[in-house]
């Protein structure tokens, strides 16, 4: 016999309307506790409840699938975001459809899965890039974790870069009294924004920021190693500190410096960005700027579920985590 929402409600001891709200992804609107949501979804799965696609279509219900467009599958930062979105999809009984665009510009074949599965909304993971393709999905909400405004996006949520660089420079210049600081990055729009920001912010600090030459490497870790190798090859005085656009660039630099007998942090302080899991486990552990990934995922997920209209841009503050790759104040 087919299991109904009423059967689920009777088993748990709640109202059928509550079960309906949970299974339709609307429970958060009335403040249902996440544990109760998880319980209802768990019992529904245990009882093998299957909603009728035909009935959902007649009621104007959604397909409960969200498309996730990831710009970079190499970066552990994007893996963290996907993990948070997956957790939310379990809580609210959604499915995720993961697609990727080479060089941040899709081919028509890249878009086919989004059309085929009639997604209820799209969440883009990554800053900037070509968004002309989003015009084909104007009837559904599209949110982004990253920088870059676009009228087709109902929400863009990203880090407050100015706040981040201020916190980093306070640590390096005022806590550690370092003023010869370099910036390591790859030729990516988000990295360029970070470079421009630290140059601007540094005007309010007693320090000089040097832009390090770019590497030809197409992955952050290898780029960091390459940039460090070039610093050593030039034979110039090494900077007192290097701020890196990502943690992986920082880790690549640390490895190359260590191999060359340069001590971290005694000879040079290294700061990363994103606070990926590897940063705290590296030797030495990497001082890094943590982005509020859980909040990013939550805001974008709810923007899709709520079918948000309009276009808004939100910048959130993060936290600098001081570890052994910089001199810690005694």
Any idea which of 48-57, 78-87, 316-325 has the lowest mean pLDDT?
48-57
324, part of any domain: no
269, part of any domain: yes
Sheet (strand 312-316) strand order:
95-100, 65-70, 121-125, 142-145, 155-159, 312-316
Residues 24 and 133 reside in one and the same domain: no
- pLDDT tens sequence across 273-284: 999 999 999 999
State mean pLDDT over 125-145. 92
Residues 149 and 298 reside in one and the same domain: yes
Look up residue 306 and give its DSSP letter: T
CATH value at residue 275: 3.40.50.2300
Higher pLDDT, 53 or 244: 244
**What tokens appear for 17 in the block?**
């309307």
Residue 53 pLDDT exceeds 60? no
Beta strand 95-100 with 65-70 is parallel
154, part of any domain: yes
Range of the domain at 111: 65-159+293-317
- Which residues lie across from 157 on neighbouring strands? 145, 314
Residues 169 and 279 reside in one and the same domain: yes
326, part of any domain: no
Look up residue 180 and give its DSSP letter: E
Residues 99 and 172 reside in one and the same domain: no
Overall number of domains in the chain: 3
**Distance of alpha carbon 44 from alpha carbon 47, whole angstroms:** 5
299, part of any domain: yes
Residues 261 and 300 reside in one and the same domain: no
- pLDDT tens sequence across 279-300: 999 999 999 999 999 999 999 9
242, part of any domain: yes
Q: Own/partner pairs for 148-152, CB < 8 Å, 24+ apart?
A: 148/189, 149/311, 149/313, 150/311, 151/311, 152/311
Residues 278 and 299 reside in one and the same domain: no
């Amino acid at each position: 016999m087919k299991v109904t929402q009423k059967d689920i409600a009777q088993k748990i001891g709640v109202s059928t309307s509550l079960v309906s709200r949970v299974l339709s992804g609307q429970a958060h609107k009335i403040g249902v506790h996440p544990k109760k949501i998880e319980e209802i979804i768990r019992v529904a799965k245990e009882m093998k409840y299957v909603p009728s696609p035909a009935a959902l279509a007649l009621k104007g219900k959604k397909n409960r699938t969200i498309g996730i467009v990831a710009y970079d599958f190499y970066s552990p930062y994007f893996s963290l975001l996907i993990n948070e979105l997956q957790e939310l999809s379990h809580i609210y009984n959604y499915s995720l459809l993961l697609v990727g665009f080479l060089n941040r510009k899709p081919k028509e074949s890249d878009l086919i899965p989004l059309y085929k599965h009639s997604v209820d909304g799209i969440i883009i993971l990554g800053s900037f890039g070509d968004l002309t393709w989003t015009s084909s999905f104007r009837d559904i909400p599209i949110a982004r974790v990253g920088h870059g405004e676009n009228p087709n996006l109902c929400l863009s949520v990203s880090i407050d870069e100015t706040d981040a660089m201020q916190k980093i420079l306070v640590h390096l210049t005022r806590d550690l009294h370092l003023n010869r600081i370099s910036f390591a990055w790859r030729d990516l729009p988000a990295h360029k924004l970070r470079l421009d920001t630290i140059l601007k912010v540094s005007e309010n600090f007693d320090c000089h920021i040097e832009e390090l030459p770019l590497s030809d490497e197409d992955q952050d870790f290898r780029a960091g190693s390459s940039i460090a190798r070039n610093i050593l090859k030039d034979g110039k005085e090494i900077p007192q500190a290097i701020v890196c656009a990502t943690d992986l660039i920082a880790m690549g630099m640390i490895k190359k410096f260590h191999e060359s007998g340069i001590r971290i942090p005694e000879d040079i302080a290294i700061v990363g960005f994103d606070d990926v899991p590897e940063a705290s486990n590296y030797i030495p552990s990497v001082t890094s700027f943590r982005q509020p990934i859980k909040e990013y995922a939550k805001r974008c997920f709810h923007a899709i579920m709520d079918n948000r209209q309009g276009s808004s841009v939100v910048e959130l503050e993060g936290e600098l985590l001081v570890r052994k790759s910089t001199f810690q104040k005694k």
